[in-house]
Structure 1
Amino acid sequence: MKIFKVLHNIAIIVKSIIKLIFIMMNLFVLFIPFIICRLLNIGLYKSIPRYFHLIFLKILNIKIKLVGKIYTNKPGLIVSNHASWVDISILSSLTNISFIAKSEVAKWPLFGFLAKLQDTLFIERKPIKAKEQKNTIKNILLKGKRLVLFPEGTSSDGNRVLKFKSSLFSVAENNSNLQDSYVIQAVTICYKGINGLPMSRSERPHISWWGDMRLLNHLWNILSFGSFEIIVIAHEPIKHSFDRKVLSTIAWKQVSHGLGLAMSGRAKSLKYNERIFEIA
């Protein structure tokens, strides 16, 4: 029996190495046309990172089911829960987007490089920088881009949605003119299945990347698994002007309630003014 276990472990290692080789080949093959298109200002360069993430998820055998619609007719702010670095590829595979990320992400292996290719806005979480960063975000949106915000401020174990930090919602608070120009949309990411079976609450924290887990060790663990099933719920946009705290609360309720629905097999897109979201 021992020899079969050893052979099984060797097979997993070999399979993981092959996946890693394909990932690096994918990056290399797409990087060259990306640089050429960007230097020549050919619009195709905006879509190349999305192609990388689509192929990356295919290599990892991560299957995504999208419930609802991600609005692309206007620039906008996409607000999502965050359980793993995999979320970056999940969302990037669905539409051409950039991210708002903490400054440390720029130093991450592979994903820091990809983030820079997608024109990620790296921010420092210092009160003294808040006004400057708010103006930067507003200018980026007015230029027609879609930005992803992970307002939990960190990643969770995937079983719950942490309370949203409201500071970055200030870009849209009480500003009806700006809201006419872009869309604020909440999105729920649910890690639903693993190797063809439903993912349990005890398994989800091992798939999520949170706490003091090391990035490269977690990437290796993900490479060793067979397949994942992910449900993404794109909720109805928040259409009215509110202050930042109300905006963050409405978005949190959409995302959090959506996670519960997805886990229970009843995933659906939620309106921002559902009765369960009423705020006194």
Structure 2
Amino acid sequence: MNVKWDMPEEPSAGRISVAGWIRVLLRGLTLGVLVFGGLLILLLIRLIERPIYGLHRPLTPHITQFVCRNAFRILQMPHKVRGERMSQKGAVVANHSSWLDIFTLNARKRVYFVSKAEVAAWPGIGWLARATGTVFIRRDPKEAKQQQQVFEDRLLAGHKLLFFPEGTSTDSLRVLPFKSTLFQAFFHDHLRHEMHIQPVTVIYRAPEGEEPRFYGWWGDMDFGTHLLKTLAARRQGSVEVIYHPPVRVDSFPNRKSLAAHVEEVVRSGMPEDRQGLPVK
């Protein structure tokens, strides 16, 4: 999360009550068994799936979706979906608010995240990311050609790659300007006339009585503290995912016009009070 924006002050960590710690224990243990049990099963099946199907993953994405859907049941957090999920080859772009986006966007659609290479080394999250087929990229010109080939191979194999064009997570109350860099990959001759991009809006609504930024995770906020706060909540808020109609890449003259269009669509899906452009 190294992109600079006019970050609001991070909320102070509130005290967790005794009842809250009981919820942390019960939800945390159940969630841990679900996530890491699912990861173990996924890795075992992948040992068979990979030599037979190669890049194609006809089996393991079902495990990922099962884990992510049930994570919201454990949290007792409603997960709502609107719109049709894209069936064409291509990629998905969404606004980025929290580590919860990993569960939110995997729960109802088979996607493979595109992430910075550093995430692969993160404890827990890095293991999950590698196991579920995340594409890791480095901002190194020397690796640009190799990374382009990985993109092409995965996209032409039918993988729905998902990336966050904002380049960072936010407080969940805004959509930052989309960076157009990654969109260039879709304008190569092998992809331009084959690919579609589906904009997706993710809306988090805080628990009743909590501040609106409750689920936002940004800047240098500590992951462990935010996770504990989420697990301890007496009543959860909700998350809504809006799948907008996909657009053809070759309908746009260049990456900047494509990025500007999908940014506008993603922002339009937010509640009216969250649609304003951020102050730079």
Q: TM-score, normalised by structure 2?
A: 0.82
The Cα of 1:30 is off from its aligned counterpart by: 2.1
Q: 1 CA distance for matches of 2:40 and 2:101?
A: 25
Unaligned runs of 5+ in 1: 1-7, 265-280
The Cα of 1:46 is off from its aligned counterpart by: 2.5
The one-character-per-residue Cα deviations of 1:187-242 (angstroms, maximum 9, x if unpaired) are 011112424x7x7xxx2334211011011111111111121211211111112243
Higher normalized helix content (fraction of residues): 1
Q: 1 CA distance for matches of 2:192 and 2:81?
A: 25
2:270 is equivalent to residue 259 of structure 1: yes
Q: 2 CA distance for matches of 1:179 and 1:238?
A: 12
1:217 alignment partner AA: T
Q: SS of the residue aligned with 2:105?
A: helix
Q: SS of the residue aligned with 1:161?
A: coil
Contact 1:231 1:262 in 2 (8 A): no
Aligned to 2:119: 105
Aligned to 1:181: 194
The Cα of 1:123 is off from its aligned counterpart by: 1.1
Q: How many residues align?
A: 250
The Cα of 1:129 is off from its aligned counterpart by: 3.5
Pairwise CA RMSD of aligned residues? 2.2
Q: 1 CA distance for matches of 2:242 and 2:65?
A: 19
Contact 1:174 1:243 in 2 (8 A): no
1:214 alignment partner AA: D
The one-character-per-residue Cα deviations of 1:92-140 (angstroms, maximum 9, x if unpaired) are 0011211001122223332222111111011112344444323321221
1:235 alignment partner AA: H
1:21 to 14, 26, 29: 29
1:39 to 24, 41, 47: 47
| Structure 1, 244-253 or 51-60: larger mean CA deviation | 51-60
Segments of 4+ moved more than 4 angstroms: 261-264
The Cα of 1:39 is off from its aligned counterpart by: 1.7
The Cα of 1:163 is off from its aligned counterpart by: 0.8
Contact 2:97 2:170 in 1 (8 A): yes
Q: 2 CA distance for matches of 1:120 and 1:128?
A: 21
1:49 to 60, 64, 71: 64
Within a 5 Å distance, the mapping from 1:129-278 to structure 2 comes to 129-173=143-187, 175=189, 178-195=191-208, 203-225=211-233, 226-239=235-248, 240-261=251-272
Q: Which has the higher contact order (CA 8 A, sep 6+)?
A: 2
Q: TM-score, normalised by structure 1?
A: 0.82
Q: SS of the residue aligned with 1:188?
A: strand
Q: 2 CA distance for matches of 1:263 and 1:61?
A: 25
Contact 1:79 1:149 in 2 (8 A): yes
Unaligned runs of 5+ in 2: 1-15, 53-57, 276-280
Relative to structure 1, the CA distance from residue 260 to residue 132 in structure 2 (aligned partners, 3 Å threshold; closer, same or farther) is farther
Q: 2 CA distance for matches of 1:215 and 1:127?
A: 31
The one-character-per-residue Cα deviations of 1:27-68 (angstroms, maximum 9, x if unpaired) are 243234323322222832221111111111211122121111
Residue identity (%): 32
Q: SS of the residue aligned with 2:175?
A: coil
Q: 2 CA distance for matches of 1:126 and 1:94?
A: 33
Q: SS of the residue aligned with 1:207?
A: coil
